[in-house]
Structure 1
Amino acid sequence: MCGLLALLSASGNAGDYVDAVERALPCMHHRGPDAAGTWHDDDAAFGFNRLSIIDIEHSHQPLRWGPEGEENRYALTFNGEIYNYVELRAELKELGYTFNTEGDGEPIVVGYHHWGADVVEHLRGMFGFVIWDTKTKTMFAARDQFGIKPLYYATTPAGTVFASEMKCILEMAEDLGLGLSLDKRAIEHYVDLQYVPEPESLHANIRRVESGSTVTLTPGGEVLNTRYFKPQFPVQQVPAGQEQQLFDRIARALEDSVEKHMRADVTVGSFLSGGIDSTAIAALAKRHNPNLLTFTTGFEREGYSEVDVAAESAEAIGVEHIVKIVSPEEYADAVPKIMWYLDNPVADPSLVPLYFVAQEARKHVKVVLSGEGADELFGGYTIYKEPLSLAPFEKIPDPLRRGLGKLSQILPEGMKGKSLLNRGSMTMEERYYGNARSFNFEQMQRVIPWAKREWDHKEITAPIYAQSQGFDPVARMQHLDLFTWMRGDILVKADKMNMANSLELRVPFLDKEVFKVAETIPYDMKISHGTTKYALRKAMEQIVPAHVLHRKKLGFPVPMRHWLAGDELYGWAQDVINESQTEDIFNKKEVLEMLKEHRDGVSDHSRRIWTVVAFMIWHGIFVEHRIDPQIEQRDYPIRL
């Protein structure tokens, strides 16, 4: 787990930018505090920060490799972990290749030499990497299937630059001649969805390599993107009497994934909440590490903590458990630092406790496992039940359905059936936009008057829905979440908050072999018997403690609604809004009025307020240069 930086010069003068690369590396020192290095030739300049996990004494990067007679033909920078590197190394040795290290990075570049761009199909892990071929003058970059590891890029007059953190590109912007301006379309998407969807960033000239995609380019040439990961969710039925075989396949795939994810030359721990996902991972990890440490976080406010359930789970599976409680004061004080680490804001309040539990875990371990991805793969969100409840509407002629929708609009707010009629009148593409929409269009225009309806969430969701034609209804929702909420929120906060603390997070559910099984589960084995993730729960019956197995999903509860209405955060939020220099973006008077309405109980605006406040703090750091995020490891400001 590391941080990479790679520049492909447009003019054969990469050496002129080595100083800029070296100056930018400290921006992501937290991603790799164990070592740093650079390498360059006439065309390419690489920089690297290393968090040493596997083959600690060797496998330093940038890594050079070449076949016999072409030694050092390739240069590699790689962020992530390849969990099948042992098997890949053995396979490539059988084909006659030799290796100079025992790490998991070298099989990538050897595999690239042998398979070309198809190497990504052979990798089982999380990754963002860049390879430079000095012979063909070709640069190749890739991200893992699900987007666990980030990879930003920008094309500039000086060339194309890739980085694990956007801050590195911002630091080099002046040297590279990169103009910096905010992307209003991306801002609207952020306010609408509470995250910036891929491939956008809030800076107009900086983009992200999308999850499950590769990039190829040559000096001065175009950035050519290719998607290699295309979920299929094949429609299958489990024959009567063969359900247990499916449950066994799930259990075997997950157990194998956890075993592979435990590969490390350092201590591996596990996060543990009150839900089935992290509990299953921790219980399986315990089989490979009898002295496993688990970690959880929560709040003092009653009803907003899973600490007690997690402690009960830890006792049931026999692991030592460590708890971090976060106060409102700690929460508010940490937000500027967290926005700096994020690169782009994510308006998910659970980011903050995740930052603190990662900070606590790093005192004890260097790697943790977690349960991200289970909901998207196995059908864990309650909203996935909706196609079943709305199925009768599918039989109603379209004009009549639309009429029911119009009727719902004139029914009084709060009247029973109003919401059902409204949602039943819409197609799935119209009603389901993922888990995170903060504002409808009318609410958005209240706080950003320049909002354009053509820039709303459907601009993001429509192409994804187009790819899922023929999938069952639940699979269509899962497919949408894989390419929106999961990679835009879940995996961003997982990567950024853990790497902020130089802690490697591994997610065994998001494994290509686990997905091969999960992809084939029929929808009635995901949403069944009044619960979600039915097949996963059945598969984990002998692994997860009974008190967790059928527990209702809670997400990660944060008392934001109460804090913003009370003494804890109301005055703090008011100060953030008043001091923010974002009048060209927000109608601050309306934002303040929305905050007051929330305090007075007129309406619960907590998610909307948090979305705006998070952006304002981000803007205060990266645009206004007014807010100091107080990053201890840096002793100079980013030049923006």
Structure 2
Amino acid sequence: MCGLLALVRDPALPVTEDMVEAVAGASHLMRHRGPDEPGTWSDDRVVLGFNRLSIIDIAHSHQPLRWGPPEEPDRYVLVFNGEIYNYVELRTQLRSEFGAVFATDGDGEAIVAAYHHWGTTALSRLRGMFAFALWDTKNQELFCARDPFGIKPLFMATGPGGTAVGSEKKCLLGLAVEVGINLAIEERALQHYTVLQYVPEPETLHRGIRRLESGCHAVIRPGQQPKVTRYFVPKFGAAAFTSGGAQARYDEITAVLEDSVAKHMRADVTVGAFLSGGIDSTAIAALAIRHNPRLITFTTGFEREGFSEVDVAVASAEAIGARHVAKVVSQAEFVAALPEIVWYLDEPVADPALVPLFFIAREARKHVKVVLSGEGADELFGGYTIYREPLSLKGFDYLPRPLRKSLGRASRPLPEGMRGKSLLHRGSLTLEERYYGNARSFSDEQLRAVLPGFDPSWTHTDITAAIYAESAGWDPVARMQHIDLFTWLRGDILVKADKMTMANSLELRVPFLDPEVFAVASRLPHDQKITRTTTKYALRRALEPIVPAHVLNRAKLGFPVPIRHWLRAGELMDWAYGMIDASQAGHLVDIAAVRAMLDAHRAGEGDHSRRLWTVLIFMLWHAIFVERSIVPTISEPQYPVQL
């Protein structure tokens, strides 16, 4: 787990010592991703920068990493963020088939050798999380790729000075002059953020910086625009289970999870696990302790009754035999950490759960260097309650389309909160019209009141239309899962997981998001995912022998955050008023409208907490990255190199 930076210069512009120093300086902005070992490499066309968090083959596998076949030694130079969990098997296969020779015992050389011998098809052989940039000195091109689900990030920017790619956007901002990046705010991306609570890929809030999307690779040649290709298209229901009955299906889920966790435990440092009160993290921890009987688990909660998973997590840890560490966060700590957290994020993400994740990662890093977590189970196995909506709306499917639209029009004058209003409205819409992904903060009417530049032509369909087209003919639950893989999962869940753990130099691994696990989950019929009474039906059945009974059918909570209460009184409310009054983003956000919303929330006139939080986090982002009126104090705890 590391941070990479690469700059491919325009052919008319030479690589100078000043340029190498500029890349090294920009790379230093993400030293938290890899405090163990910095490094740079350059030739006359490219500069590579790297920060290493040593996890596998600690004494070797230094980066930038040189590798080549015997006839072309040192042909390739790699900078790589992530882990390849099947690297041992890949190295064995490459030796057997091609006589590949390796100078290290790590996973980086496996990537380069696989690319050399198999080309871009090597990506489908990698079981892991990755974003990498591989310079081919012979062909003079930079090959970049991200893992299928987008666990690891990669930002890209092209300008008159060349193309830069990096693990964090702040590093590209550090090279803005050298590359010639357009730093104007992209208002369409801002509107999408305000609705969705995150900036959807491939957009960012800076017009000149984009993201390489999950499951894509790019070829960058000096003087040319990056050529991006999608190599992974997830498909649900492509092939059904053919034999063995229900129990065989559950046994297959169990077996593939056991295998994934076993491979995710590969490390030369101590591996722990995050543990909330839910089934997903508990299952991962219960499987992990088989490989490390001294497993330490971690959870967090708040100093407010009803907003802590600590007690349930403690009981779960006790049931599986793990040592448990809990971190309780006060409102004052929460508020004080916000500027630092948003600086680490690079892009605003309005999910309050990332704050406790930051604190639990900081606590965990005192004990371990790697943690496992349960992200991805909901998207793969059908874990969100919203996935049950097609069952509740099924009756509308039998009505003629004009009648459904009439029912929708009839619902408009009904008072907000009136029983049946929402059902009539949502039943009048098609799935494509009503489902944005697993989050929506603002309606169009609310958005128009807050964003002076509101444009009704910028809608969620900018993001979802092409994704829905890929899933035509699938059942509604599978289509919703497909949308969430490309929106909520990679836009919110994985961003906060990567950024908040890397902020603390902690590697987070997600065994559910494994290609082999996906291959099994994708074949489940909808009635093995969602029923009228539960979610993740098949997964729960498969995990019955593994997880404690008290969490098997427990409702999903995650890490609940009391912002609704805290925005009505105390330090967070005071911080919110101060942020609104000091904001210089009035050309992008209606300051008076936001203050009125906070006044109404404080007075108990409705719950506006999620919408407020969305705008407040943008204001804080704007103050840090645009106004420069807030300069966060970046605390850098000193951890030992190896734990």
TM-score normalised to structure 1 length: 0.98
Structure 2 contact 10–223 (Cα < 8 Å) conserved? yes
Structure 2 contact 373–509 (Cα < 8 Å) conserved? yes
Tell me, yes or no, if structure 1 residue 460 matches structure 2 residue 458: no
Q: Which residue of 541, 544, 558 corresponds with 2:544?
A: 541
Percent pairwise identity: 63
Indicate the RMSD between aligned Cα atoms, in angstroms: 1.3
Instruction: Tell me how far apart the structure 2 counterparts of residues 150 and 396 of structure 1 sit (CA, whole Å).
Output: 44
Tell me, yes or no, if structure 1 residue 19 matches structure 2 residue 18: no
Structure 1 contact 405–422 (Cα < 8 Å) conserved? yes
Equivalent AA in structure 2 for residue 4 of structure 1 = L
| CA positional deviation for 1:318 | 0.5
| CA positional deviation for 1:26 | 1.2
Structure 1 contact 235–471 (Cα < 8 Å) conserved? no
| CA positional deviation for 1:449 | 2.1
Structure 2 contact 199–348 (Cα < 8 Å) conserved? yes
Matched position secondary structure for 2:288: helix
Residues 57-86 of structure 1 deviation map (CA, whole Å, 9 limit, x = unaligned)? 000000011111211000100000000000
Tell me, yes or no, if structure 1 residue 66 matches structure 2 residue 63: no
Tell me, yes or no, if structure 1 residue 421 matches structure 2 residue 407: no
Structure 2 contact 529–535 (Cα < 8 Å) conserved? yes
Residues 72-128 of structure 1 deviation map (CA, whole Å, 9 limit, x = unaligned)? 000100000000000000000002111111001110000110011111111000000
| CA positional deviation for 1:190 | 0.8
Matched position secondary structure for 1:455: coil
Partner residue of 1:365? Answer: 368
| CA positional deviation for 1:568 | 3.7
Equivalent AA in structure 2 for residue 276 of structure 1 = I
| CA positional deviation for 1:529 | 5.9
Residues 48 and 241 (structure 1 numbering): CA distance in 2 closer, same or farther, change over 3 Å?
closer
Instruction: Tell me how far apart the structure 2 counterparts of residues 517 and 151 of structure 1 sit (CA, whole Å).
Output: 28
Bigger shift: residues 518-527 or 8-17: 8-17
| CA positional deviation for 1:176 | 2.5
Q: Equivalences for 1:37-116 in 2 at 5 Å?
A: 37-95=39-97, 96-116=99-119
Matched position secondary structure for 1:278: helix
Instruction: Tell me how far apart the structure 2 counterparts of residues 34 and 552 of structure 1 sit (CA, whole Å).
Output: 40
Residues 361-420 of structure 1 deviation map (CA, whole Å, 9 limit, x = unaligned)? 000000000000000000000000011111111011101111111111122333222211
- Following superposition, which runs of at least 4 residues in structure 1 exceed 4 angstroms of deviation? 235-241
Equivalent AA in structure 1 for residue 3 of structure 2 = G
| CA positional deviation for 1:43 | 1.0
Partner residue of 2:606? Answer: 603
Instruction: Tell me how far apart the structure 1 counterparts of residues 416 and 242 of structure 2 sit (CA, whole Å).
Output: 45
Equivalent AA in structure 1 for residue 256 of structure 2 = A
Q: Which residue of 214, 218, 221 corresponds with 1:218?
A: 221
Equivalent AA in structure 1 for residue 8 of structure 2 = L
Partner residue of 1:207? Answer: 210
Matched position secondary structure for 1:495: helix
- The runs of 5 or more residues in structure 2 that have no matched partner are 638-643
| CA positional deviation for 1:252 | 0.4
Matched position secondary structure for 1:582: coil
| CA positional deviation for 1:633 | 4.6
| CA positional deviation for 1:434 | 1.3
Equivalent AA in structure 2 for residue 426 of structure 1 = L
Structure 1 contact 447–591 (Cα < 8 Å) conserved? yes
Partner residue of 1:6? Answer: 6
Instruction: Tell me how far apart the structure 2 counterparts of residues 629 and 5 of structure 1 sit (CA, whole Å).
Output: 23
Q: Which residue of 211, 225, 230 corresponds with 1:227?
A: 230
Q: Which residue of 602, 626, 630 corresponds with 2:633?
A: 630
Equivalent AA in structure 1 for residue 600 of structure 2 = E
Q: Equivalences for 1:293-304 in 2 at 5 Å?
A: 293-304=296-307
TM-score normalised to structure 2 length: 0.97
Residues 588-624 of structure 1 deviation map (CA, whole Å, 9 limit, x = unaligned)? 0110000011111112110010011101111111111
Instruction: Tell me how far apart the structure 1 counterparts of residues 360 and 222 of structure 2 sit (CA, whole Å).
Output: 43
Equivalent AA in structure 1 for residue 563 of structure 2 = M
Q: Which residue of 302, 306, 309 corresponds with 1:306?
A: 309
Bigger shift: residues 172-181 or 472-481: 172-181
Matched position secondary structure for 2:44: coil
Instruction: Tell me how far apart the structure 2 counterparts of residues 212 and 195 of structure 1 sit (CA, whole Å).
Output: 19
Tell me, yes or no, if structure 1 residue 438 matches structure 2 residue 420: no
Q: Which residue of 478, 494, 497 corresponds with 2:497?
A: 494
Structure 1 contact 15–40 (Cα < 8 Å) conserved? no
Matched position secondary structure for 2:457: helix
Partner residue of 2:32? Answer: 30
- The runs of 5 or more residues in structure 1 that have no matched partner are 635-640
Q: Equivalences for 1:184-583 in 2 at 5 Å?
A: 184-234=187-237, 242-528=245-531, 530-583=533-586
Instruction: Tell me how far apart the structure 2 counterparts of residues 140 and 607 of structure 1 sit (CA, whole Å).
Output: 40
Residues 309 and 193 (structure 1 numbering): CA distance in 2 closer, same or farther, change over 3 Å?
same
Bigger shift: residues 276-285 or 577-586: 577-586
Residues 36 and 241 (structure 1 numbering): CA distance in 2 closer, same or farther, change over 3 Å?
closer
Instruction: Tell me how far apart the structure 2 counterparts of residues 225 and 240 of structure 1 sit (CA, whole Å).
Output: 39
Instruction: Tell me how far apart the structure 2 counterparts of residues 339 and 138 of structure 1 sit (CA, whole Å).
Output: 34
| CA positional deviation for 1:549 | 0.3
Equivalent AA in structure 2 for residue 13 of structure 1 = P
Structure 1 contact 7–14 (Cα < 8 Å) conserved? no
Structure 2 contact 132–144 (Cα < 8 Å) conserved? yes
Structure 1 contact 142–213 (Cα < 8 Å) conserved? yes
Instruction: Tell me how far apart the structure 1 counterparts of residues 360 and 240 of structure 2 sit (CA, whole Å).
Output: 41
Matched position secondary structure for 1:345: coil
Instruction: Tell me how far apart the structure 2 counterparts of residues 134 and 211 of structure 1 sit (CA, whole Å).
Output: 26
Instruction: Tell me how far apart the structure 2 counterparts of residues 555 and 427 of structure 1 sit (CA, whole Å).
Output: 30
| CA positional deviation for 1:25 | 1.6
Partner residue of 1:637? Answer: none
Instruction: Tell me how far apart the structure 2 counterparts of residues 109 and 486 of structure 1 sit (CA, whole Å).
Output: 28
Equivalent AA in structure 1 for residue 585 of structure 2 = T
Count residues in correspondence. 634
Residues 239 and 257 (structure 1 numbering): CA distance in 2 closer, same or farther, change over 3 Å?
closer
Residues 529 and 458 (structure 1 numbering): CA distance in 2 closer, same or farther, change over 3 Å?
closer
Residues 633 and 363 (structure 1 numbering): CA distance in 2 closer, same or farther, change over 3 Å?
closer
Partner residue of 2:641? Answer: none
